[in-house]
Amino acid sequence: MSLPRSTSHSVDSLLGPGGALEAALPGYEHRPEQLQMARAVERAFNERSYLLAEAGTGTGKTLAYLVPALLSGRRVVVSTATKTLQDQIFFKDLPMMREKMGLRFEAAYLKGRGNYLCLHRYDSFSKDPQFSSREESRYWPKLKKWAQQTETGDRAELDLPESFSAWSRLSTTSETCMGTKCPLYENCHVTRMRKRAEGADLLVVNHHLFFADLALRSSGKRTEGVLPWYDAVIFDEAHALEDAASGHFGVSVSNYRLEELARDAVATLKEEDSRHAMLRALAARLRSSSEALFAQAPRALGLSGAESSVALKPETMEKLSTALEGVREALGALTAFTVGEREPELAAVTRRGDEMEEQLGFLEKAESPDHVYWAEQRGKGLFLRASPIDVAKELRERMYGALDTVVYTSATLAADSRFDFFARRMGLYGEDGQPVTQVRTLAVPSPFDFPTQAALYLPTHLPDPAAPGFIEAAAEEILKLCEVTGGRAFVLFTSLRNMVRAYELTVGRLPYQALLQGERPKQQLLEAFRETPSVLFAAHSFWEGVDVPGDALSLVIIDRLPFASPGDPLVAARINQLQQRGEEPFEAYQLPQAALALRQGFGRLIRTQSDRGIVAMLDRRIVTKAYGRVFLSSLPDARRLEDVVELSRWFNGPVRPVRTIR
C-alpha cells in the first residue's frame, strides 16, 4: 500500500464548502447531497459496517465514495456493472483527484483474463495460425506486431472486431489458465497485472470479474484468483449485482466448451510425440460425442429457436441420458490418458475434463432444490446451465464472513421508498429475518429539478400491452411523440420482438435517422445517435449504463412495464421458491424488481441540470392498475401529462429557469 490514512485531508476538506474540489474546478458548486453520502461512506469504513446508499443522478456519488475509500488507509475494490463507469473512474475521476485534489495513491484497473493476450497460447497459435475467415486473417500481421510491443496485453489496445473468433485461442480463462505451472507465468500479462494490483490502494473492476474471482477462491478447488487480497468493497451500479452473481455461482457446459477442450488437448503435444496419435483419437471421440449430444438436445429439450431457453427437469434430461453418458465416457477416457502426465498442459486437460464430467452429472440429475436448471440456445451455441435460485445464501457464505465493510450504491436501490427488497435479495437478512451484520441505509435525492426539467407522459387510450394491436398502436404513438421533440429519442422495449416490429412499422415514416440495436456495436450506435437527430430502438443493455447528456436525447419512450418474463427459467424458479416459502411472489419479487428497472429506464433522460425532456410510458397499466402506484411513487416527481397536445405545448413552450434543489 502506498499511503497510510491521510492526516492532512478529510472528507469535508475535500468535498465540503470551500473545499479542494470546489477550489480546483472553475464553476463547480458544492453539493450537500454529495457530502452527505461521503460522510455516510466514511462512517461505514470507520465502523466496519455495511451501507446501502441510493444516490440520485447528479449527486456526484462516484467522488462521494472514492474520497472516503482513499482516505481509509485500506485496500478497497470498486466494482461496477459497466465498462463505461469503470473507464470513467480510472481515466477521469482518479487522475482528477491526484491532480486537482492533491491525493496520493496507487490504483489498478483489472479485467477478466479473457481480455488479455496469453503468451503461452499465442506462441502455440503462431506456429500454425488458423482463422475462421479470410477477413479475420487480415488482422494477423497487425496483431503479431502488437503482441511484440504491448506492455499490458490488453485487447482494448487493438481495434479488433467484437466477433474476432481467433481471440479465444489467444487468451485464456480461469479454466484454461495453467497458473504457476505455466512456463511463461512470470512474464504473463495477467501475472504482471496482478502484481501491479498488489501495490495498489484502489482496485477498479467490474461485477463479473469480482464474482468470477470470488467463486474461484471459494470453490475449494483452486485458490489463485485475479484479485489480490482486499479489505473492503464498494459496489457501484449495485442494482445489477444479483444477475452478475448468479451467473458465477453455478455451472455451465456448452458445445463451445467441449470443443475447446478437444482442440486444446490435441495442441498439447507435438505430432512426433508417441502419445499424440492416441490423444488425437480421444479428442476426436470427445468431439463426436459432444456433437451427437448437442444435435439431439434442441428437439429433446424443446428449444424453439436460435435465441431461446427452456427449463430442465429430470424427466427431460432423461431423453438425453444415452448422449450424456457418451460425453462423460469420452471425458473419462481422455482424463484417464492424461492423468499423471508431467506436462502442465496435460495436467490442465485432466482438471478441465474432470470438472466437466462432474458438472454434466450434476446437470443431468437436475435435482438440487436450491438451483434452477435450464438450456439456452444463442446462435450456434447451446448451453446447459444450473444457477442458484437465490444468491443471498451464496453471498452470506462466500463473502460476508470475510469482509467487514461493504458499500452498495446506485441511483436505484429502493423500491417504493424501501430498501427491504434489495437487502433481502443480497442476503443481508438471514433466513430468520434478522440482519446478518450492521447495515445502515441512506437515500440522497437528486439535485435536479424534475418538475421543471422532465414531463412524464401517461396515455391511457392505447390498448393493454397484452391485447391484439398494441404494438401497432404504440408505433403510431411513437411517431407522434418523435414529432414533438424532433426525434432525439430512445425507444426502449422489454422484448426484442416488439423492438423489431415497432422499428419495421415506423422506420419508413420517421424523418430522422432510425437506429436499431444489434445492427452495429453499441458504442457505434451511441456515436451515430449523438451526431445527428435520431431515434434509437433498443432493449436490454440500453435501459441502464448509457449516458447521453444534452440536447441529443430529449425523449425516452418505454413500451411496457418491465416485468421480468415468468417464462424465463430463473425468474420462474424464483417465483416458485417464494411460493413454497408462503410469500406472494408478485409483491415480494416481481413488482419491486420491475419498479427498479423502470427507474433505470427513466434515468436515461435527465443527466445534467440543463437537460430537459419527456419520458413516455405507453403501458396504460401504470395508471389503471392498483399496483401502478408503486411504479409512480418510485419515479422522480416529474410533471405528469396525458394529452400529446398539452405535452407539445409544455416541451416547445417557454423554458422556465431550472431551480437547483438543495
Triad 53, 55, 61: Cα angle to 5° = 95
- pLDDT in the model for residue 160: 84
Range 85-111 average pLDDT: 93
Spatial CA neighbour of 437 closest among 459, 468, 405, 409: 405
Q: How far apart are CA 373 and CA 375, in angstroms?
A: 7
- pLDDT in the model for residue 46: 95
- pLDDT in the model for residue 221: 55
Q: For residue 364, is pLDDT > 80? A: yes
Distance, C-alpha 626 to centroid of its chain: 32
| Tens of pLDDT, residues 97-109 | 999 888 999 999 9
Could you give the percent of the chain with pLDDT greater than 90?
70
Q: How far apart are CA 558 and CA 556, in angstroms?
A: 7
| Tens of pLDDT, residues 634-652 | 999 999 999 999 999 999 8
Range 558-575 average pLDDT: 92
- pLDDT in the model for residue 497: 92
Q: Are strands 381-388 and 371-378 parallel, antiparallel or unpaired?
A: antiparallel
Q: For residue 371, is pLDDT > 90? A: yes
- pLDDT in the model for residue 6: 47
Q: How far apart are CA 101 and CA 91, in angstroms?
A: 15
Q: State the cell numbers at 562.
A: 418491465
| Tens of pLDDT, residues 436-461 | 888 999 999 998 999 999 999 999 99
Q: For residue 223, is pLDDT > 60? A: no
Whether 172 and 44 have beta carbons less than 8 Å apart is answered as no
Strands in 405-410's sheet, in edge-to-edge order, are 107-109, 202-206, 76-80, 232-235, 405-410, 50-55, 439-444
pLDDT category at 5 given cuts 50, 70, 90 is: very low
Helix (H) or strand (E) holding 69: helix 61-71
Distance, C-alpha 15 to centroid of its chain: 30
Q: State the cell numbers at 62.
A: 462516484
CB-CB neighbours of 17 under 10 Å: 10
Spatial CA neighbour of 14 closest among 33, 30, 37: 30
Whether 555 and 613 have beta carbons less than 8 Å apart is answered as yes
Reduce the DSSP state of residue 443 to 3 states and report it: strand
Q: For residue 85, is pLDDT > 50? A: yes
Whether 58 and 446 have beta carbons less than 8 Å apart is answered as yes
> b/e map of 395-404 (b: 16 or more CB within 10 Å)?
bbebbbeeeb
- pLDDT in the model for residue 599: 92
The strand pairing partners of 373, in sequence order, are 386
Spatial CA neighbour of 62 closest among 45, 84, 36, 85: 85
Whether 563 and 594 have beta carbons less than 8 Å apart is answered as yes
Whether 179 and 146 have beta carbons less than 8 Å apart is answered as no
Which distant-in-sequence residues (6+ apart) come within 8 Å of 169 by Cβ? Answer: 121, 125, 263
Q: How far apart are CA 298 and CA 588, in angstroms?
A: 34
Spatial CA neighbour of 632 closest among 644, 620, 643: 620
- pLDDT in the model for residue 352: 94
Q: For residue 2, is pLDDT > 50? A: no
Give helix 470-485 / helix 496-506 axis angle, nearest 10°. 60
Distances in whole angstroms, Cα of residue 374 to Cα of each of 166, 302, 318, 330, 355:
28, 11, 14, 23, 19
Q: State the cell numbers at 173.
A: 480463462
Q: State the cell numbers at 102.
A: 492533491
pLDDT category at 220 given cuts 50, 70, 90 is: low
Spatial CA neighbour of 276 closest among 345, 348, 355, 178: 345
| Tens of pLDDT, residues 28-83 | 778 899 999 999 999 999 999 999 999 988 899 999 999 999 999 999 999 999 88
CATH topology of domain 252-388: Four Helix Bundle (Hemerythrin (Met), subunit A) (1.20.120)
- pLDDT in the model for residue 551: 86
| Tens of pLDDT, residues 290-340 | 999 999 999 999 988 777 889 999 999 999 999 999 999 999 999 999 998
Q: How far apart are CA 46 and CA 167, in angstroms?
A: 44
Whether 429 and 400 have beta carbons less than 8 Å apart is answered as no
Q: For residue 362, is pLDDT > 90? A: yes
Q: Given 3-state DSSP classes, what are the helix, strand and coil percentages for the chain, each rounded to the nearest 5?
A: 50, 15, 35
Which amino acid appears at position 17 of this protein?
A: P
Which distant-in-sequence residues (6+ apart) come within 8 Å of 508 by Cβ? Answer: none
Reduce the DSSP state of residue 219 to 3 states and report it: coil
In the chain, where the domains are located: 252-388, 450-652
Spatial CA neighbour of 486 closest among 453, 525, 534, 529: 534
Q: For residue 656, is pLDDT > 70? A: no
Q: State the cell numbers at 242.
A: 444479483
Q: How far apart are CA 413 and CA 50, in angstroms?
A: 14
Greater pLDDT, 128 or 489:
489
Reduce the DSSP state of residue 89 to 3 states and report it: helix
Task: Read off the DSSP letter of residue 418.
Answer: B
Q: How far apart are CA 582 and CA 567, in angstroms?
A: 21
Q: State the cell numbers at 305.
A: 429457436
Q: How far apart are CA 317 and CA 327, in angstroms?
A: 14
Q: Which CATH superfamily is domain 450-652 in?
A: P-loop containing nucleotide triphosphate hydrolases (3.40.50.300)
